[in-house]
Structure formats: C-alpha cells, structure tokens
Amino acid sequence: MSEMEPAKNMISIKIDGVEYKAKEGEYILNAARANDIFIPAICYLTRCSPTLACRICLVEADGKQVYSCNARVKEGMEITINTPNILKERRAIMEVYDVNHPLQCGVCDQSGECELQNYTLELGVDSQSYAIPDTKRETKNWSSVLHYDAGLCIVCERCTTVCKDMIGDAAIKTTKRGGAALDKDYKATMPKDAYAMWNKLQKSIIAPSNGTDYTNCSDCGECIAVCPVGALVSRDFQYTTNAWDLKRIPATCAHCSSGCQIYYETKPTSIADRTEKIYRVTNEWNYISLCGAGRFGYDFENRVEGKDQEAFTKAVEAFKKAKVINFTSVITNEEALMLQSLKEKMGVKLINREARAFQRFLDFYSQASGNSLYTTDFKEVMATDFVMSVGTSLRNDNPNARYAFNNIQKMNKGAGLYFHPVGDNLVPTFGKNIEMFTHKVGQEELALLLIIDLFADHDKLPNSVKEQLDRDKLLEALGKDSEAFAKSFDKMMKKKESFSLMVGEDLYFHEKAENIAKLIAVLENSSSVKVAMIPPKTNSLGVALICDLDDEAEGYTIGYNALGDFRLSALGDGDLDMPSMNQQEGTLTNMHKRVTPTNAALEYHGYELNDIMAELISAPKYTIDWTPHLPVEKGFKSINFDDLPNEYKNDGTENRGYLLDTTTKEVGEIEVDKFDDSTVLDGEIAYRCNPQRQFNDFTNKAHQIFEEFGLYASKERAETLGKRVTVEFDNGSLELDVIVDERMDGDIVAVPDFKSAENIYELFGASRYQKVIIREV
C-alpha cells in the first residue's frame, strides 16, 4: 500500500556485477540502500550533508576508489563494494575506532545497538595494531536532557551534522581535544584513509558551539537519536535499562500537527511495580526528525484503576442533556467521527476553536482555488530550493516546518523569506540567503502580495490583484529598503528552480482570512510556488475534515480535555477519565495530509468515548472499528485499522497509513479585496504562542518538559517589564511571570495557550494578536 514515487530519471548501475536501478544524481550509498544492498557507513545521515568523517563507506566505482556517501551514481556505473585494498582500509579504520575506546559495553546504554560493536564484528577485528596515549575526556551534562560521555565518542560528527543541517540550532561542533600526535611511522605503514581519519579523530571532540559548557539549544534530542555509540544519552534514560528489555510500540506523536513517526519503548516500572512505563521515545532518524516535545514529553498517560461506573452513568446523563461539546485537536480521527455522529443523531453543537478557524480557512481556499485541500506536503517543500514562510512563528508552531526551512538552506543551497511580526534571531542563522521581514501585525496580505509580485506570471493575475502590486510601496510598508532588497533578492534567486511557501495559524485566526485564502489561491494559479499549510494543532486537519464545527454555542457543555460543565479528561482531572494518546489506538491526520495509525503503548482500564457512544447511539466493539468509516468524500479511505502500515522503507519512502485523496474543480476568476490599514495593530501587542516543546496540557504534564506558563519576551523587552506582570485584554486579564526567550526579538510578547484551563483562546478571540496593557505587579 505504499505510494510509489514516480520512476523519474531512473538509471542503471551495476553493484558487484548485478544490475540495479537508481535515481539519477543519487549518492551511491543511498542508491545501494534503496536496493537493499549493504555498504558499511557510519557518519552519513540521510537528508544531511556528507561529512566524510568515517571513510568506511569506501567503494570502487568504475575502477576508482570513492566514498559512496558523497559520490553520485552515473548511468552504467560499475561499483564494487569490497576490494582487498578497501577491506584493509575498513579494518584499519575499525581498529582505530577501537583504540582507547573504554571497555564498558557492559554498562553502556547503547546495550548492543552499537554501530562500533557491529562494525568491529562485521569486519572481523580480532587484534589491535595501533596505540596512542589516551587523553582525559570528561563527562558533561550539556543541558537538562543531554548527557555527553566524551570517552565513548568516536567523533563521527553525526550529532553536529543533524543539529546543523536538520534542526538548525548548530548548537554543537567539533573542537580541539588536545590529544597526542600520531606516531610518525604510522603515516608510512597505515592504510591511507585510515590514517587520515585517525589524524582528524585524534584532534577533535564535540562541545557546545557557544563556547560555554551548555548548549542552550532547542533540546530536541535528535543528536541523542543519531549517536551510533553511547556517547550521547538522555539524562533521564541513562543507566535505567538495557535496550533489549524494551518493547517497541510503533505510534504517531500526538503533540503537534507534524504527526511524526515514533516508537514508545516500554518496560515494567520496577521490580516492585510491574505496570508498564515508557522509558524513552525513539524514531527512524534517517527519515524523520523529532522535536523535544515528541522525544521527551511521553509520560502523560492517565493511570486509572478501573471502570468508575458511577462517573460513567453521570457522563451518559450529561451527554443526554448536553447542548455543546467543547474539545481540542488532541483527538483521534475516530473520536472526532464519534462526536460528529453525536451531532448528527442528537443535535449537539461541536466547538473546537483552532480546528474551526482552520476549517473556515480551508473552505475559503477551496472555494477560491477549486482544490479540495492544499496541494503540497512538507516533503515536497523540503525538495524546493527557495522557501517562504508567512503567518507562523516557525520556531514554536511546528518543528518540522522549521526543520524543512532550515534543511532547504543547508542541503539545497537554498534561500528563504521569513515574514513575521515577532522577531526571531534563530531563523536568520539557518543560511546566508534569508531575508527577515519583521512586519506589522495585520500586514500579512501585503506579504502575500509581495510574494505574488515576486513570483507570479503577471499576465495570469486578476486585475484586483494586479492593481495592488507596487513593489516599492509593498517593500516600504513591510519595512524594507527597495534597492537593498532588489540586490539581495537577485542574489537569492541565482540558480533557483523550485519555490515553496508555508503558511500558518496567524492567517487562520485573521479578520481577513477569506481574502488571504484567495491571495494564496491566486499565487498558486499564477506561479510555480507550492503552498503548504500548517494545521494549528495536532489533529486540526482531521477534525476540520470530519466534524461539522460550530462557531458559537450556548448551554450545558461537555468538555473533552477542555473546559465544560461536565468534563471528560485524559489528564485525570475531569469528571470521567479518558485514555490519553499513548493509551489508545486510532489514526491522526497530519500536516502532510497523511492519515497515520498510532498504537496503545500503555494499558488503560477505564471507560473510553466508544463506551459512551454505545450507550447513547450505537457503536461497534472497538474504537478502531470506526476507522474504515471515516468520510470518503473528504479524502479518507475505507481501510481497516489493522491494514494500515507504519514504517519507512530503505529508500526513505514513507509507508505510513495513507495519503488523503484530493480533488480539483474548475472555478472562476478570483476577486480579492483591496488592502486597507484597518487590520494593522500598533502599540503593546500580545501574541498567542507557545514556547518551544510545549504544545498542550499533555506536554505540560510530562516530567522532562518544564517550559513554564508565563509571558515570553525578548531579553530587552523583559528588562522593561519586570518580574511579574498583569496582562489586560479587552475581556479579561492574566497574571504571569515574565520569562526571557533569548531567541525572540522585538517588543511583541508571547502568551502561551498550552494550558486549556486558562482559556487563552477566549481572551484572544478571532485573532492571534491582541492589544493589551501590561503592568508590573
């Protein structure tokens, strides 16, 4: 059931005399892997640049020795994986890696999943020909989650590579180790590549790039995931279990709309307590990168002793008299479908603010463009070389959108335009060709008009757009000098072939959402820019497609993980307990328009929503029996849950669940409004935005995520604010601690919405930005 990638530009190569097909321009290593052929390789990471640190991937291509991780296949190329000389090099390399490597495999957290062990055995290293005095290498805690044991590090540079090329923090780098120099004789006697590799290895070690002992980074833990040995381990996980004792449960991360592939790894809590506990989260790091919330925010389960009959009866009663169901986007497609069935059969109203805003926006977009859904996913975005972002705080809203933005700069020699009212000092460090537009709140339409002006075929534009395209004026309004921009834009456009735009939540919660959706449709119709949308929260896309949501509703309200008169809660604080996302199976719809399955990692003994359905309307035996009934007319497929795959193939194909079907129909010309300044906000402004790693009540419950609920501000702004402030909105106020976010710039402050009990959506209403009065207390 995998979606086959189109067989574009396939060429033939020969590996060890056998003919295979490979994608043109692919690295030899990746081509071999796609054909299920093994070439030893340590330092290379798919989706990142080759560093040539290990040199073990040597092969012979057309008679010449090359590194398979950075040599590209050519038509008719003949590749030999093992020659006597290459085998000698590889063995010498592995011997070198073993020099002075501490003999502590017995306690090492890699516990057998070690690439150093594997390759040492694979290459039959049974004696050691090299020696050098060891250097004292200290163990360090780099952050609240990172533990680095320099003694175990083989300086393969995978951690630094992923941090730079994928994550974008570039928080760690190789530095001087201060080790002894190699014996001169080795140069003459050792295999050449092994010597070169050792020479470099002996000089380097990994350290935070800011020169301190602390990384001060996004704490995503991706460096831990890619480390081939036990040098980088999470502080919480260290020495608590062996890898082989853990049970792997394939799942989908339920914290944001990326819907990343993850494995929950479980084992009994302790000798005395045999209930299963999640020890860590791992991922297929060659194909997907997690953020800190996904990797460390896993212990949010709702432990329930048994079925609370009394609460259940009350819940059924509550549902019978309910007028409204208020819920969040942290919900499976199946449960969303249940709520929709309730609406159809019992006439309750459904309230989900973030999904409703997105639903409206999608409707506006479909009406204007004729496409049932946005046309691009973030994999396609990642393949472009010019990327733009409008209406999203890239660093906070969606980690994978941010990774894509960064990866394009690093891997595709890309360029980028970043439009956002809240200044950010991390994004400009992603690459040399990034222009930051820190525009005023409410000027999002101008940003889109500028993009249309820059990229569209002006002949194809409707008049209502054309007459608004005065580049100098647009640039001026957006705070740029037009000459300087023209110059840098020329440079940015050099050798660029494919263009993409990502848009986010600011545009859905916008007074002019309809007009903005039209502008996006215009852009797509008249240019080659591909547009991808970031759904606001976890399953907002699924909810928007499945549920018929209401704007306003009054009366007796059931809150599902949200406020209400009767509360169902997976947080353990409601009137009836519900299973949390790591305790239930079902599907989620992610921003890549993919419906992915997730499995239950931990047991749950209480009632589920499906039990309430069985009492109220009718329901099949299991929640997952709803899966094949997801609305086909909205693009879902009628496939049983148990038939949904959840894996990546060796060539990187994502074989998880299925892609939503999309349709296109003809529509007439689009008429857009003229921009006026009425939506522009000035003065003291608060932005509804979560700190990195916090997305909802569940991340907040996890013990390794401790970003506080407070007022986030840039360093300069925080200094003027004081320690604790009241933030007054039109319809209420909040008292919050001021927290410095060193990566924020400018005067706009951020108020998080991850605590549903604080009812932040109510304060902000239909926009993500509000004028506020801030007073020190």
Partner 1 sequence: MGLEQFKNRNVGTQNYVKLDLPHPPKNGWCAFKQVLSRSLKPELFVGLWVALREMINALFRGQMHTTQYPLEKLPISPRYRAIHEMLRLLESGHYRCIGCGLCEKICIANCITMDTRYDENQRKEVSEYTINFGRCIFCGYCAEVCPELAIVHGGRYETASEQRASFSLFEDMLTPIDKLNLQQEYQGFGAISPNADENIKKTPLAY
Distance CA 526, CA 419 (A): 21
Distance CA 264, CA 580 (A): 14
Question: Residue from 2, 128, 313, 662 that binds partner 1 (CB under 8 A)?
Answer: 128
What does 52 interact with, of ligand FES, partner 1, ligand SF4, none (CB < 5 to 8 A by kind)?
Answer: ligand FES
Binding of ligand FES by 346 (CB under 6 A): no
Question: Residue from 68, 202, 234, 258 that binds ligand SF4 (CB under 6 A)?
Answer: 258
Tokens of 402: 């941010």
174 and 231 Cβ atoms separated by less than 8 Å: no
Run of H or E residues at 360: helix 353-369
Alpha helix stretches (DSSP H) within 76-140: 84-98, 115-122
Stretch that binds ligand SF4, among 228-236, 354-362, 615-623, 701-709 (CB under 6 A): 228-236
Binding of partner 1 by 121 (CB under 8 A): no
130 and 186 Cβ atoms separated by less than 8 Å: yes
Question: Residue from 75, 244, 497, 633 that binds partner 1 (CB under 8 A)?
Answer: 244
What does 244 interact with, of partner 1, ligand FES, ligand SF4, none (CB < 5 to 8 A by kind)?
Answer: partner 1
Q: Give the shortest CB-196-to-partner 1 separation in angstroms.
A: 20
Residue 703's CB is within 10 A of a number of other CB atoms, namely: 11
Residue 634 main-chain phi, psi, to 5 deg: -95, 5
Stretch that binds ligand SF4, among 169-177, 486-494, 541-549, 706-714 (CB under 6 A): 169-177
Site for ligand FES in 4-43 (CB under 6 A): 41-43
Q: Give the shortest CB-170-to-ligand FES separation in angstroms.
A: 20
What does 67 interact with, of ligand FES, partner 1, ligand SF4, none (CB < 5 to 8 A by kind)?
Answer: ligand FES
Nearer to ligand FES by Cβ, of 50 and 151: the residue is 50
Distance CA 6, CA 519 (A): 31
Q: Give the shortest CB-723-to-ligand SF4 separation in angstroms.
A: 28
Question: Residue from 79, 86, 125, 171 that binds ligand SF4 (CB under 6 A)?
Answer: 171
Q: Give the shortest CB-171-to-ligand SF4 separation in angstroms.
A: 4
Extended beta strands in 495-645, E state: 499-503, 530-533, 557-560, 566-569, 576-577, 586-589, 594-598
Q: How many residues does the chain have?
A: 777
Q: Tokens 């479909």 label which residue?
A: 366
Q: Give the shortest CB-35-to-ligand SF4 separation in angstroms.
A: 27
What does 431 interact with, of partner 1, ligand FES, ligand SF4, none (CB < 5 to 8 A by kind)?
Answer: none
What does 520 interact with, of ligand SF4, partner 1, ligand FES, none (CB < 5 to 8 A by kind)?
Answer: none
Tokens of 391: 């209406």
Nearest to 472 by CA among 492, 490, 454: 454
Nearer to ligand FES by Cβ, of 85 and 210: the residue is 85
Nearer to partner 1 by Cβ, of 242 and 425: the residue is 242
Distance CA 159, CA 653 (A): 23
What does 54 interact with, of ligand FES, ligand SF4, partner 1, none (CB < 5 to 8 A by kind)?
Answer: ligand FES
Binding of ligand FES by 159 (CB under 6 A): no
Stretch that binds ligand SF4, among 168-176, 366-374, 636-644, 721-729 (CB under 6 A): 168-176
Site for partner 1 in 100-119 (CB under 8 A): 100, 103, 106-107, 111
Q: What is each CA distance from 434 to 164, 207, 414, 497, in whole angstroms?
A: 16, 27, 9, 17
Residues near ligand SF4 (CB under 6 A), total: 42
Q: Tokens 């007009």 label which residue?
A: 515
Encode 415-450: b = buried (16+ Cβ within 10 Å), e = exposed: bbbbbbbbbbebbebbbebbbbbbbbbbbbbbbbbb
State which amino acid sits at residue 636: F
Nearer to ligand FES by Cβ, of 50 and 250: the residue is 50
- Degrees to nearest 5, angle at CA 748 with 746 and 749: 115
153 and 207 Cβ atoms separated by less than 8 Å: no
Q: Give the shortest CB-573-to-ligand SF4 separation in angstroms.
A: 22
Nearer to partner 1 by Cβ, of 279 and 419: the residue is 279
373 and 660 Cβ atoms separated by less than 8 Å: yes
Residues near ligand FES (CB under 6 A), total: 13
Stretch that binds partner 1, among 20-28, 98-106, 217-225, 640-648 (CB under 8 A): 98-106
Binding of ligand SF4 by 217 (CB under 6 A): yes
Nearest to 2 by CA among 652, 624, 662: 652
Binding of partner 1 by 136 (CB under 8 A): no
Tokens of 411: 């891997």
Question: Residue from 55, 91, 255, 593 that binds ligand SF4 (CB under 6 A)?
Answer: 255
**Site mask for partner 1 (CB under 8 A), range 222-241, x = bound:** -------------x--xxxx
Binding of partner 1 by 242 (CB under 8 A): yes
Q: What is each CA distance from 43 to 13, 64, 67, 149, 197, in whole angstroms?
A: 24, 21, 11, 18, 12
Nearer to ligand SF4 by Cβ, of 397 and 453: the residue is 397
Nearer to ligand SF4 by Cβ, of 15 and 54: the residue is 54
Sign of CA dihedral 616, 617, 618, 622: negative
Give Cβ neighbours of residue 316 (< 8 Å, ≥ 6 apart): 612, 615, 616
Tokens of 687: 């932005």
477 and 716 Cβ atoms separated by less than 8 Å: no
546 and 539 Cβ atoms separated by less than 8 Å: no
Binding of ligand FES by 405 (CB under 6 A): no
Distance CA 270, CA 757 (A): 33
Question: Residue from 94, 256, 331, 602 that binds ligand SF4 (CB under 6 A)?
Answer: 256
Measured from each CB, the residue nearest to ligand SF4 is 294
Binding of ligand SF4 by 426 (CB under 6 A): no
Give Cβ neighbours of residue 354 (< 8 Å, ≥ 6 apart): 328, 329, 505, 508, 536, 537, 540, 761
Site for ligand FES in 52-111 (CB under 6 A): 52-57, 67, 69
What does 131 interact with, of partner 1, ligand SF4, ligand FES, none (CB < 5 to 8 A by kind)?
Answer: partner 1
Tokens of 651: 């060539």
Site for partner 1 in 264-293 (CB under 8 A): 268, 270-272
Q: Give the shortest CB-238-to-partner 1 separation in angstroms.
A: 5
Helix (H, G, I), strand (E, B) or coil at 262: strand
Order of strands across the sheet with 594-598? Answer: 586-589, 594-598, 658-659
Extended beta strands in 115-260, E state: 139-141, 146-149, 172-176, 204-208, 232-234, 247-252
Distance CA 508, CA 522 (A): 17
**Site mask for partner 1 (CB under 8 A), range 57-96, x = bound:** ----------------------------------------
Stretch that binds ligand SF4, among 164-172, 185-193, 454-462, 747-755 (CB under 6 A): 164-172
Binding of ligand SF4 by 381 (CB under 6 A): no
Binding of ligand SF4 by 169 (CB under 6 A): yes
**Rg for the chain (alpha carbons), in Å?**
27
Binding of ligand SF4 by 278 (CB under 6 A): no
Question: Residue from 207, 231, 357, 588 that binds ligand SF4 (CB under 6 A)?
Answer: 231
Residues in the site for ligand FES, rule: CB under 6 A?
A: 41-44, 50, 52-57, 67, 69
Footprint of partner 1 (CB under 8 A): 100, 103, 106-107, 111, 128-134, 139, 235, 238-242, 244-245, 268, 270-272
Give the footprint of ligand SF4 on this chain (CB under 6 A).
146, 153-159, 162-163, 167, 169, 171-172, 206, 215, 217-223, 226-229, 231-232, 253, 255-256, 258-260, 290-291, 293-294, 399-400, 695
